[in-house]
Amino acid sequence: MVTVKLPDDVSPESLANTTLVALLNLAQPSEALAAALVRFVSAGGGLFISVGDRVDATVWNQRMAKLLPQPLGLPRTASALPGQHAGEIVDDRPAERLAPIDRNHPLLASFPEHGEGLVSARFFKYMLLDPAPESPERSVILHYESGAPALVEKQVGKGRVMLLSTTVDREWTDLPIRAGFLPLVREAARRLVGVTGDEETASLRAGEARSLAFAGDEQRLEVSRPDGSVWVARREQANSARTVLYSETDRLGTYHVRAVGPDGTVTARPEQDFVVNLDTRESNPARLDPALRPDRIAAASPGAKPPKHRVELWHTLAAVMIGLLLCESALTLRRRRV
């Protein structure tokens, strides 16, 4: 479940049931929020940061030094936004673009070889990042053609932080309207929460069921739902394969699984955790193959009745109404003459 809050409304306690936090063009994090985020990421949480006109780089570098992959520098304007001018002259400098992607990085492995949908994006403004010493915990995922970092990640404790040096809206770039934007956000979120490409079953559509397995002498399994409620399955409910089927996936968000042993010991089972996403298949605007249309499938079934065709009557009714109005007008004129 995605929750949008203002910075002042975020309490350190509210991060306990959160797996991923995104700070988007935040002016300056408070000292309390910065300390809470350090604990959150160090314990295994994911943090995504994007910049913008509101960001106070000096405050960020002071309070978020432990989390920032690289210190924030000065904003750089590559070119004027489309339709705008730079002062009294037209700014015809070309916008910045991304350098060819490195598909060896796990986040970019699923993208096309030449990075279609990403390298076509234009960046009119971005924030330069100050140099940082080489470290195995830090890596640059995407570069601009100028060599400046575009997307940087850093391992902090058990968690990760990603820093995007431009905006996630169209203030500084047209990346949000490019085909590669949503896949990039999806893969970034998966990496930040620790989901790898081999864990596709950890992502379900709303309404789909998930099989959960008992291990050893575990007596029950508990599933913590996004709304805070807990679903419990006891050992005697399992079948011969010691599995139970969980089907209450009506809420979007992350479901955490834990097991309870015979002595009451509670053990987290992160390998059985899963995420429920919105089913977007009906939102796909692509044209459906004629062979897959419901009316064609029904007509092709043996013994099926031919599909009914709707007949639009409003054209006929409208013509009749217009004819009656004309007749009424003609009769009125005739009576006036008489």
CB-based contact 164:151 (threshold 8 Å)? yes
Percent of the chain at pLDDT exceeding 70: 84
- The answer to whether the Cα torsion of 35, 41, 46, 48 is positive or negative is positive
Structural domains in the chain plus CATH codes: 7-82+94-192 (3.40.50.880), 202-277 (2.60.40.1930)
More confident residue, 24 or 15: 24
| 123-148 mean pLDDT | 92
Q: What is the mean pLDDT of the chain?
A: 84
- The predicted model gives 42-70 an average pLDDT of 94
Strand (E) or helix (H) holding 42: helix 31-42
Q: How many CA atoms lie within 13 A of 119 on its CB side?
A: 12
> Does position 283 have pLDDT exceeding 70, yes or no?
no
Q: How many Å apart are CA 80 and CA 210, to the nearest integer?
A: 50
CA–CA separation, 42 and 158 (whole Å): 5
pTM > 0.75: yes or no: no
Q: Does residue 201 carry a pLDDT above 50?
A: no
